[in-house]
Structure 1
Amino acid sequence: MATSKDEAKKKPSWRRFRDGDYEWDSLTEKIFVQDTSHKCPTYVHKTPPCQGSCPSGEDIRGWLAIVRQQEKPPAGVDWREYAFQRSTDANPFPAMMGRVCPAPCQDGCNRNELEDYVGINAVEQFIGDTAIENGYGFQAGADTGHRVAIIGGGPAGLAAAYQLRRRGHACTIFEANDALGGMFRFGIPGYRVPRDKLDAEIQRILDMGQVECRFNTRVGVDISIAELEAQFGAILWAIGCQTGRGLPVPGWEGTPNCVSGVAFLKAFNEGRMKITAEKVVCVGGGDTSIDVVSVARRLGHIGQAGKSDLPETVIHDGYVAHDAVMTAAAEGAQVTLTSLFTRDKMTAAEHEVHDALHEGVTILDGVMPVALIKDQAGRATGLKIADCEMIDGRPTPIEGTERVLDADLVVAAIGQGGDLRGLEELDSGRGLIAADKFFQVPDRPGHFVAGDIIRPHLLTTAIGQASIAVESIDLYLKQAEYRRRPKVDVHHFDLLKKLAEADLAPDAFRLDAAGDLRGTSAGDWAVHNFEDRGAAEVIPQDELFLGHFGYHARNLRKEEVPSAEEVLGHFKERVIGLTEAEAIDEAKRCMSCGMCFECDNCVIFCPQTAVFRVAKDRRTTGRYVDTDYAKCIGCHICADVCPTGYIKMGLGE
């Protein structure tokens, strides 16, 4: 039955034709002479924009296809474990990243052209949590005898350890702190990254074996670079950026109650800071600043605080800690976040900003700090701000808009920097470590680098860089030539690998038995009419037949966000994951851009019955339909009705 006009208005979807353009011209003549074009369908794999937008390069379309039950796992493997295996090919932290990644993949999702993006993060969290519940693990590769030093046990270092072990290389992680996790553990609060889930995902890597950890060890102080070079076949620098930038206002340095967001969150996440100040002002606008103000609202303050109880004392001194008893007397804190940019241009995730407002944080956007107000003792008592405008890309205060925000603690969350004390020889001149396209340190053979120490960015970026760096390390250890990196540098779907997994791999090619090589449609030693452009092209929405897809509302994760009255002492996890049924339904919203998802449109609409389903015992993902070129007349209807853009007219003479 056709959809009524009223129903169509209630649930709008993409329309193939502009208003008034709804009649076909006569195609009869074109169809029956089209065979002179010599063009018939070929099956072209391209990278979907979600994957192209993912700095980790995850095969998102692939594991969504598994969750939706469309791509079948190998015999004896549960689909939940198979989805986990596909997801973690690029990223070993699905439970963590499903919670905290700002999801550039969702911004790139072609489903945004319809009603809303696919909830990729939500499905990834489901995969990760299910894997922990079921005890899924990783498999190490055959031992190569090589050992690699990894400097830093954060997301980049741990991801590198995982990828190295998959290739059979042993590794030793040198960690300056007393626990692994880096920014996962010390930079993000536990109500966003549950520590039991984090510990489980880290332990899974350690359980691969031959991952040695040396804690409280600072390279350049406790052990020299020369000693590492003598003991290890290669070195990966993944030390992150542990220092925060101060505000560019006179008097910031040396003012005791002016601290960085990184230091503030580390003191909290280590369990040392249990209360904060009465009036907290944080300057930022990114995710770190949201974490700072949300934590400050949860901690509150106490009325009569001695010098040792002041939050900055704990933040500056890594050995001082608040007494847990103090939390019983905590009262709510007045917390203000200021941002150079307006709300719509803040880099923090939109829902995180919304949650902070709900929790009682005051957000002042489009303003900049211009001065610190201090008392006679040299402590900050306020921050002078002004409305600002961007002139030649620089924020400029608007005269006459200055005002003072009272503050007992001022936090700068405007960026991070590296700490290269003892490692000055690696300094690129900007307090960071330089990297080439293979993530080698230039002019230092055997030294590689990944993560924020190259340039502070997202956790998923650090994980993706670690994967590429490990590929380079593997080639270096084998003394093999470096291969040119692909234009679309992600973990691609591999049809040959999929065919082998399904016991459908092409036969070995023998020239003496092949005979006449003109035409390959009957040759079992070739993959017929398939072209892989995934490493070169991302498929845009205008190559899809969006008219195929109906309205399908996104399955939203539930959140337990405390109100301003409830936030004090509220440290329960906010995000409640999808149920299995919800995760499957959400995965079904994926449009499988650039890969067949077995809708049968081409088979149904082919007027010559030239397009046909591959026999069930020969069928797998990417090999669902085939074409009989003796029947095909080149009418291009199959390409027109292909929802995913997988069918292109090609092959020529």
Structure 2
Amino acid sequence: MATSSEEMTKLSWRRFEDGDNVWDSLTEKIFVQDTSHKCPTYVHKTPPCQGSCPSGEDIRGWLQIVRGLEQPPKGMTWQEYAFRRSTDANPFPSMMGRVCPAPCQDGCNRNELEDFVGINAVEQFIGDTAITNGYKFEPAPADTGKTIAIIGGGPAGLAAAYQLRRKGHAAVIFEANSGLGGMFRFGIPGYRVPRDALDSEINRILDMGKIEVKLNTKVGVDITVEQLEKDYDAVLWAIGCQSGRGLPVPGWEGTPNCVSGVAFLKAFNEGRMKVTAEKVVCVGGGDTSIDVVSVARRLGHITKTNKSDLPETVIHDGYVAHDAATAAAAEGATVTLTSLFTRDKMTAAEHEVDDALQEGVTVLDGVMPVEVIKNDAGRAIGLKVADCQMTDGRPAPVEGTERVLDADIIVSAIGQGGDLTGLEQFDNGRGLMNSDKFYQVPDKPGHFVAGDIIRPHLLTTAIGQAWIAVESIDEYLGQAEHKRRPKVDVHHFDLLAKLNEAELAPEHFDAHNGDLRGTSDAKYAIHNYEDRSGAEVIPHDELFLGHFQYTPRIHRKEEVPSADDVLGHFKERVIGYAEEEAINEAKRCMSCGMCFECDNCVIFCPQDAVFRVDKNESTTGRYVDTDYAKCIGCHICADVCPTGYIKMGLGE
């Protein structure tokens, strides 16, 4: 029966094109049937999902656990094992599975077939399951007697406290706000970050012990840097960027109803702002601006307002709050989002923009603000905008396209800056702190830094920086020289650690009696295995993509309200995977750079030279072996290896 045209379009990858009959490179020309002296060796590389993850998570590793390929140690469920593997790098799987824009998915090699693996959806499942089952972190090792001051209790500060405890150091967190969580709590709405789940993940860190928390304490104002240096063995600055940038246009400065996106969201997330204005205009294009407009649509406005009811009064004051009864009288708000960039170049996640449109937000892309229009009382009543063209990275208005957007409140979500009041000695002139490659503050021994205060970026970036900063702090406390960081600086699969975990560690090597020339059968070595994960990310063109079938991604369900239903809708939007969905989605992982036991090399070897290693002799069967007395160097095993794990090089 002929293959239908519809089916043919689903599998479109070929290793060779018509007319390809000559090897391109000298390296490949050595393969001439059985005259080659090259034989297979097994090379571990970093997958691009992991290489794209600023937290450096071992994504391939925990996907292998969820799918059932990598088995947990005795006495542990796979759910707990996946949790422990994922939190080696990032202690917030439930949170990050919800809000991370997932650069790992952009890098996923499966994009070359049909669609990326739903990595953050599986991560959310791991995190939510851990909360439901009450998993705790392993107890901290013996106390080192060292205590580190962490300035800031956001994602970077909390991740640093977690990593410090794993090394036996104590921590004291100084937080200027009334609660921990930073941007998790004060920058992202609760319908995206459920507060009960956030509290569970924070408390799990605090439950490790020896982490003291001092809330409502602003370093530089309530306590001096000199006092910190005297009382603590090191200081980690993780203060984030809590101040928003205003619009660089005439009329913005000093206008009461012109506010930053950071302040707008903080007032909402603290529960003080319960309504907004009738006409809201937000300038942005990133994730913060999407949160602003989505919140504005949910809050709505009230018709009759006293001065204390105005949203900017609540936002600017910091203590004034709307009466709870105010929200009951709310009506829908007209909300507009403008972006310098066209829709395809906006930095906000595409599905977030889609959700905002469904909720009734008007999105004007390719538009720049020109001037704030004010009335005689000095309040903004509109924002003049114009179509823009980008010239050398700078926007320029298109003549004749100016128009005014009516506005009762204007929100700027174009970037954030740090508040270095009392910390001027650390200001690099841009309202931020400088850092070297080890996340030390230059010329400030004992001071380290992580997160947005270096450069505003993603939450996952702050968490990854905190891990490296803690490594540097640990070396500083031990008066050790900083180790050279690997080129691919992430958490890697460690074969030797896995062998030890499975009680299959190699035998002791005796240098006096062992064979120093090489061996293919001794029990003290892992044969023909090379770990290049710290140096190389494996690209899609090293894989045999023809092995993989067309398998659509399993999308998480979402509860996104319509424009008519959005007012007062604060239910969580994302509905996480059921267990079966998480397992099936994890099975879509192509295990780039690591054997996943497909048996292609064993099946297709014409000499029966390649064989599986018995699982009671090695680890979880993550690699195969070769009888080099039979191997003729035909390289078929390398050609049919889906993951690019087999390389022809041995014997050259």
Question: TM-score band (shorter)?
Answer: over 0.9
Give 1:350-429 correspondences, 5 Å limit.
350-429=350-429
Aligned to 1:141: 141
CA distance in 2, matches of 1:625, 1:3: 37
Measured in 1, the distance between the counterparts of 2:96 and 2:7 equals 36
Residues 441-456 of structure 1: matches in 2 within 5 Å?
441-456=441-456
Change in CA separation of 1:220 and 1:338 when aligned onto 2, cut-off 3 Å: same
Asked whether 1:14 is paired with 2:27, we answer no
Residue 472 of structure 1: aligned partner:
472
Q: What is the deviation of 1:631?
A: 1.0
Deviations 1:553-604 (A, max 9, x none): 1000000000000000000000001110011000000000000000000000
User: What is the deviation of 1:251?
Assistant: 2.3
Provide Cα deviations, 1:144-184, integer angstroms capped at 9, x if missing partner: 11111000000000000000011111000000011000000
Q: Which residue of 2 aligns with 1:49?
A: 48
Hey, what's the Cα distance between the residues in 2 that align with 1:80 and 1:486? 30
Q: 1:183 corresponds to which letter in structure 2?
A: M
2-structure distance, mates of 1:6, 1:129: 42
Matched, 1:113 2:73: no
Take 1:313 and 1:275, find their aligned partners in 2: how far apart are those partners? 12
**Match for residue 298 of structure 1?**
298
| Residues 58-207 of structure 1 aligned to structure 2 (within 5 Å) | 58-139=57-138, 140-207=140-207
Q: CA deviation at 1:10?
A: 5.8
Q: 2: distance between equivalents of 1:508 and 1:150?
A: 42
1:37 Cα deviation after fit: 3.0
Report if the CA contact (8 A) 1:123-1:586 is conserved. Answer: yes
1:499-648 equivalence runs, <5 A: 499-514=499-514, 516-621=515-620, 623-648=622-647
Corresponding position of 1:493: 493
Amino acid at match of 2:64: A
The answer to which of 245-254 and 188-197 deviates more is 245-254
Please state how far the C-alpha of 1:520 moved relative to its aligned partner: 2.1
- Cα distance in structure 2, aligned partners of 1:31 and 1:302: 78
Q: Is the 8 A contact 1:31 1:635 kept in 2?
A: no
1:27 aligns to what? none
Distance (whole Å) between structure 2 residues aligned to residue 144 and residue 598 of structure 1: 43
Query: Conserved in 2, the CA contact under 8 Å of 1:596 and 1:621?
Result: no
Is the 8 Å Cα contact of residues 31 and 635 (structure 2) preserved in structure 1?
Answer: no
Q: Would the aligned equivalents of 1:495 and 1:622 in 2 still touch at CA under 8 Å?
A: no
* C-alpha contact (below 8 Å) 2:613/2:621 kept by paired residues: no
* Deviation of the 1:616 alpha carbon: 2.3
Measured in 1, the distance between the counterparts of 2:199 and 2:622 equals 40
CA RMSD for the aligned pairs?
Answer: 1.6
Which digits, 9 at most, give the CA deviation of each residue in 1:438-469, with x for residues without a partner? 00000111100000000000000000000000
Partner-residue secondary structure (3-state), 2:382: strand
User: Which amino acid is 1:651 matched to?
Assistant: L
Q: How far apart, in 1, do the equivalents of 2:111 and 2:211 lie? A: 42
CA distance in 1, matches of 2:616, 2:30: 33
Kindly state the Cα deviation for residue 621 of structure 1 after the two structures are TM-superposed.
Answer: 4.1
Counterpart-to-counterpart distance in 2, 1:336 and 1:22:
58
1:141, distance to aligned residue in structure 2 (A): 2.2
Q: CA deviation at 1:624?
A: 3.2
Please, what TM-score do these two structures have when normalized by structure 2?
Answer: 0.97
CA distance, structure 2, for counterparts of residue 249 and residue 538 of structure 1: 44
How many angstroms does 1:522 deviate by?
2.0
TM superposition shift of 1:111? 0.2
Question: How much has 1:23 moved relative to structure 2?
Answer: 13
Query: How far off its partner does 1:402 sit?
Result: 0.2
Shift of 1:333: 0.3
Report the counterpart of residue 435 of structure 1 in structure 2: 435
Closer, same or farther: CA 392–33 of 1 in aligned 2, 3 Å? closer
Distance in 1 separating the partners of 2:621 and 2:484? 26
Distance 1:304 1:33, change over 3 A: closer
- The one-letter code of the counterpart of 2:285 is G
Structure 1 residue 9, shift from structure 2 partner:
3.0
- Aligned positions of 1:319-338 closer than 5 A: 319-338=319-338
In terms of mean alpha carbon deviation, does 487-496 or 499-508 score higher? 499-508
Paired residues in the alignment total: 646
Residues 113, 3 of structure 1: alpha-carbon distance in 2 compared, 3 angstrom cutoff: farther
| Contact 1:451 1:462 survives alignment (8 Å) | yes
Alpha-carbon distance between aligned partners in 1 of 2:137 and 2:58, rounded to the nearest angstrom? 18
Kept after mapping to 1: 8 A contact 2:267/2:273:
yes
Letter in 1 for 2:180: L
State how 1:15-30 maps to structure 2 within 5 Å.
15-18=14-17
State the AA in 2 paired with 1:465.
Q
SS in 2 for 1:511: coil
Q: Distance in 1 between matches of 2:188 and 2:621?
A: 40
Instruction: Please give the alpha-carbon distance, in whole angstroms, between the structure 2 residues aligned to 1:596 and 1:326.
Output: 60
Q: What letter is aligned with 1:322?
A: H
Aligned to 2:318: 318
Letter in structure 2 aligned against 1:111: R
Instruction: Please give the alpha-carbon distance, in whole angstroms, between the structure 2 residues aligned to 1:649 and 1:567.
Output: 59
User: SS state of the match for residue 618, structure 1?
Assistant: coil
The Cα of 1:619 is off from its aligned counterpart by 3.2
Residue ranges of structure 2 left out of the alignment (5+ in a row): 24-28
SS at match of 1:357: helix
Give 1:317 deviation, angstroms.
0.5
User: What is the identity, as a one-letter code, of the residue corresponding to 2:216?
Assistant: N
Deviation at 1:389, TM superposition (A): 0.1
- Once the two structures are TM-superposed, the CA of residue 506 in structure 1 deviates from its matched residue by 1.5
Cα distance, 1:606 vs structure 2 = 0.6
Q: CA deviation at 1:32?
A: 10
Equivalent residue runs for 1:33-48 within 5 Å: 34-48=33-47
Q: Is contact 1:267–1:315 with CA below 8 Å preserved after alignment? A: yes
Q: Distance in 1 between matches of 2:212 and 2:385?
A: 49
How high is the TM-score relative to the length of structure 1? Answer: 0.97
Query: Residues 299 and 470 from structure 1, CA distance in 2 versus in 1: closer, same or farther, beyond 3 angstroms?
Result: same
1:266-285 equivalences in 2 (<5 Å): 266-285=266-285
Contact kept, 8 Å, 1:35 with 1:635, in 2: the verdict is yes
Structure-2 separation of matches of 1:81 and 1:327: 42
Provide the residue aligned with 2:26 in structure 1.
none
SS at the partner of 2:512? helix
**Partner SS, residue 581 of structure 1:** helix
Deviation at 1:526, TM superposition (A): 1.8
Contact 1:31–1:634 (Cα < 8 Å) also in 2? no
SS state at 1:208 partner: coil
Deviation at 1:618, TM superposition (A): 1.4
CA distance in 1, matches of 2:394, 2:450: 30
Amino acid aligned to 2:632? I
Q: Secondary structure at the match of 1:617?
A: coil
Unmatched segments (≥5 aa) in structure 1:
25-29
Letter matched to residue 559 of structure 2: E
Larger mean CA deviation between 237-246 and 35-44 belongs to: 35-44
Aligned amino acid, residue 584 of structure 1 = I
Residue 21 of structure 1, CA deviation: 6.8
Q: Tell me the alpha carbon deviations over residues 379-426 of structure 1, each in whole angstroms, 9 at most, x when there is no partner.
A: 000000000001121100001000000000000000000000000001
Question: Shift of the alpha carbon at 1:521?
Answer: 1.5
Distance verdict in 2 for CA 1:251–1:23, change over 3 Å: closer
CA distance in 2, matches of 1:154, 1:242: 11
Contact 2:433 2:441 in 1 (8 A): yes
Distance 1:380 1:369 in 2: 13
What's the offset of the Cα at 1:97? 0.4
Deviation at 1:504, TM superposition (A): 1.3
